[in-house]
Amino acid sequence: MKSWRVELSFAAALLLLTSFGSAIPAFAQQAVASATLAGRVEDSSGAAISGALVAITSLDKNQTSLSRSDEHGRYNFFYLPVGSYQL
């Protein structure tokens, strides 16, 4: 009776590990649906330019998104669909 439980437990553990192990590559192969772009606006001396309006245009969809640089000259564009862009 004891060996039957050990074999059943081993079989259940093996099934669980193989099921979980096959799910890991599925997460790794998930398609990228969007991206984030971050940058900094500077003048020719390297000083940050705050309040600059930055535009990025999707070349595929001809859609433009705008961002304004912060006090450190940093700007961000979040959730950009995958594609070609002009900044």
* HEC sequence for 37-83: EEEECECCCCCECCCCEEEEEECCCCCEEEEECCCCCEEEEEEEECC
Per-residue pLDDT of the chain in tens (87 residues, 90 and over written 9): 444 444 445 555 555 555 555 555 555 566 778 899 999 999 999 999 999 999 999 999 999 999 999 999 999 999 999 899 999
Q: Which pLDDT belongs to residue 32?
A: 74
Q: Which pLDDT belongs to residue 33?
A: 86
27: three-class secondary structure by DSSP: helix
